[in-house]
Structure 1
Amino acid sequence: MRTMSAVWILLVLMVLSGCTDDRHRVFGVIERDRLTLTAPVNELIAQVLVHEGQQVKAGQVLIRLDATAAKARVQQADAELARVQAALEELKNGARVEDLAQAQAEVAGAEATLIEAESQLIRTQQLFQKKLVADRDLDVAKASRDNAKAVLDSANERLRELKNGTRSEQLAQGRAAVDSAKARLAEAQKVLADLTLVAAKKARVDVMPWRVGDRVAAGTQLIVLLAMDKPYVRAYLPETYLTKVKAGDHLPLYIDGQAQPIDGVVRTIRSQPAFTPYYALNERDRARLMYLTDIDLGAAGADLPTGLNLEVAVP
C-alpha cells in the first residue's frame, strides 16, 4: 500500500510539473493611447460638457471656449474680403459710361480754360509792347497759360486711361488682394472652430480639472482622453530575449486571478534600451539591459482596465 501511494504521489508531481509554464515572465501594464487637448488661445471656458470617467464618441463636443473675439475677427475678415472682391470686379469691368462722360467734360473745360489763358496772354503781350503793363503782369499771364496747358494734358491722360481700360498689372494686384483676404478669413474661421474642442475618437475622459469661467492660457492642457480602441501592454524585455522575441510574435499574458492566459501580439520592440523602473526588475534582471516593448491585446483584452498589472510569458 505504501508503495502504491508513493507511485501515485510521484505521478501527480510529474503531471503538475508538466503543466507548469517554465517560461520567463516579465512585468507589464495595460495602456491606452492618451489624447491631450490644449487651449489654442488665452480665453475663458464657456462650456464644459463632459466629466471625468465619461465615455465619449468620436466628434462629440467636450469643451467650448468663449468665442466673442474670434467671431468679431471672422466678421472683420469677411468684410475685408467683400471689399477687395468688389474692387477687383470694378477693375475687370473697366470705366463706366458716367466716368467717361465726366472725363470728356474735364477735357473740354481744360481746353476752354487754355484758350482763354492764351487770349489773355496775347492781350497782355500787346499791352506790354505799348508799355501799358508791367513785367509782372506779363509773367502772370504766361504762368496762367502754362497752368491751363498742364491741366489739359492731365485731363487728356485721364480720358485716355479710361478708354484703354484696366492694365494687367492692376488686375494681378486685385486678384492677389482677394487671395490674401481669403487666407485671412480662413485663418480666422480656423481659430473660431478650434475654440470648440471635440473628441477625435471613441475614448474615456481621464483628466478634466477645469470649470466654466476659468481663464486658461494658450497651450494649457484642458482635457486628457484615453482611447478605447486598441489597448496594449507595455513591458520591459530583457536583452537576452531579443533573439527569441520579435514583432508579430504571439505571447501569453497572465492576469492575477485568471487561470487561462490571454493572447497578445508583439507590436514593436524599441531599438534603444530604456530606463527601467524598479518594479520591472528582479534580482536576476538588474544587471541586464531592458527594452521597452508594446504588445497588442486581442478581443479578449478589449475591456480590461487601463493600468492593470499582468505578466508576459516569454520563451
Structure 2
Amino acid sequence: MLDTILAWISALLAAIIPGYGDAPVPHYSGYVEGEYVYVAPSVTGRIKTLAVVEGDTVKADQFLFDMDSTKQQAAVRAAEAKIGTASANLNNLETGSRDPEIEVIKASLEQAIAHRNLAESALKRTEDLFAREIVAQAKVDVDRAALEEAEAQVAQLKAQLEVAALPARSAQLLAAQKTLEAAQADADLARSQLDDMTVAAPVEGRIETVYYKAGEVAAAGAPVLSILPPNALKVLFFLPEAERADFALGDQLEMECDGCDTGIKVTISKMASEPQYTPPIIYSREERSRLVFRAEARIPAGATLLPGQPVSLRRVK
C-alpha cells in the first residue's frame, strides 16, 4: 500500500513540477505492411487456366496461369510460312535458273545453230550460182541477211544460257536477304508473344490475393494475383514534427505488438522529407505539434508478423 501511495505521489509531482522524475520513453504507433509482387499479363486476353489459389506457396518460375493463345498460335504459323517463302526466294536467286529452264535454253540454242549452219550453206551455194551468173544479186543479199539473223539468234541464246547460270544481281540478293531477316524477326516476335501467354512466378512466396477467375478477361498490365515474398515485411509509423530531427536512417527501434515475440528490433530504412496528414492551416508554434512524418523500418527475417498488424515502437536505449 505504501509503495502504491509513493508511486502516486511521484506521478503527481512529475505532472506538476517540470523536470521531476524520469521522462517517459516515447512510443510510436504503426502497422505492418507487405511489399507485394503483382503478377500481370503483358497482353490483354482471356484467362484459360489458373493454377493457384490464395494461400498457396509457390517457387520462382512455377506456373501460375495462362491466357487463351489461339491468335498467337496462328500468328506463329503465319510467320513461319513467310520464312519459308522468303528462304525459297533467296535460294532461287542465289542459284540461278532451275535445271529444266536451262535445258530448254540449250535446246533452243542447238536449233538456232542448226538454222545458222543451214543459212551458211545456202549462202555459199547462192554465191557460187551468182559467180556463174545463174542467180541475181538480190538472191545473194537475201541469203546473207538470213545468215546474219541466224547468227544473231545463236548469240542471243548463248547469252541467255550464261545469264541463266548466274545468280541474281547483288541488289536483288540484298533485298531477298532483308525480306528473309524481316520474316525471321516477325516469327521471333510471334513466338515471344505466344510465350507471354504463359505466366510463371517471378519470385517465391505466398499467394496473397487472386483478383481474377479462369474465363475472365484480364487487361494488359492489370494484376491477376499478388505474391508476398518471404521477409518482405516493413513497419510504417509516424514521427511527430518535434522529434523528426532526432532520427536518422539506420537507427533501430524495438517493436511491440500483441502476440509478438519480445525484443524484435527494426531498422529505419526510409523517412519522408515532407509531413503527412498536414492540416490546411498556418504552421504556428502551437499547430506544428500536429505535423507527423511517415517513416519505414525494415523487419528482420524470421519475424512472425502479418500485413496490417498494428505495432508500437520505442527507441532502443
Shared fold, TM over 0.5: yes
Please, which of 246, 249, 260 is the counterpart of residue 247 of structure 1? 249
Q: Alpha carbons of 1:286 and 1:53: their partners in 2 closer, same or farther (altered >3 Å)?
A: farther
Task: Give the match for residue 169 of structure 2.
Answer: 167
**Residues 245 and 314, structure 1, Cα contact 8 Å, conserved in 2:** no
**Residues 260 and 305, structure 2, Cα contact 8 Å, conserved in 1:** no
Q: Distance in 2 between matches of 1:202 and 1:85?
A: 44
Q: Which is worse superposed, 168-177 or 305-314? A: 168-177
Shift of 1:22: 1.0
Shift of 1:97: 4.7
Please, which of 175, 182, 185 is the counterpart of residue 183 of structure 1? 185
Q: Alpha carbons of 1:180 and 1:8: their partners in 2 closer, same or farther (altered >3 Å)?
A: same
What SS class does the counterpart of residue 88 from structure 2 fall into? helix
Q: Distance in 2 between matches of 1:268 and 1:107?
A: 89
Q: Distance in 1 between matches of 2:229 and 2:237?
A: 19
Identity %: 23
Q: Alpha carbons of 1:96 and 1:30: their partners in 2 closer, same or farther (altered >3 Å)?
A: same
**Residues 256 and 311, structure 2, Cα contact 8 Å, conserved in 1:** yes
What SS class does the counterpart of residue 71 from structure 1 fall into? helix
Q: Equivalences for 1:175-214 in 2 at 5 Å? A: 175-214=177-216
Q: Distance in 2 between matches of 1:171 and 1:105?
A: 29
Shift of 1:189: 1.4
Shift of 1:180: 1.6
The alignment status of 1:22 with 2:9, answered yes or no, reads no
What SS class does the counterpart of residue 265 from structure 2 fall into? strand
What SS class does the counterpart of residue 266 from structure 1 fall into? strand
Uncovered stretches (5+) of structure 1, i.e. residues with no partner: 120-128, 130-144
Shift of 1:234: 2.3
Q: Alpha carbons of 1:113 and 1:249: their partners in 2 closer, same or farther (altered >3 Å)?
A: farther
Q: Read off the aligned partner of 1:305 and give its amino acid letter.
A: L
How many residue pairs are counted as aligned between the two chains? 283
Q: Alpha carbons of 1:228 and 1:164: their partners in 2 closer, same or farther (altered >3 Å)?
A: same
Q: Read off the aligned partner of 1:251 and give its amino acid letter.
A: L
> TM-score of the superposition, structure 1-length normalised?
0.69
**Residues 255 and 261, structure 1, Cα contact 8 Å, conserved in 2:** no
Please, which of 227, 230, 237 is the counterpart of residue 229 of structure 2? 227
Shift of 1:275: 4.1
Q: Read off the aligned partner of 1:68 and give its amino acid letter.
A: T
Q: Alpha carbons of 1:300 and 1:55: their partners in 2 closer, same or farther (altered >3 Å)?
A: closer
> TM-score of the superposition, structure 2-length normalised?
0.68
Q: Alpha carbons of 1:269 and 1:161: their partners in 2 closer, same or farther (altered >3 Å)?
A: farther
The alignment status of 1:37 with 2:32, answered yes or no, reads no
What SS class does the counterpart of residue 299 from structure 1 fall into? coil
Shift of 1:220: 3.9
Root mean square deviation of aligned Cα: 4.5
Task: Give the match for residue 269 of structure 1.
Answer: 271
Q: Which is worse superposed, 81-90 or 179-188? A: 81-90
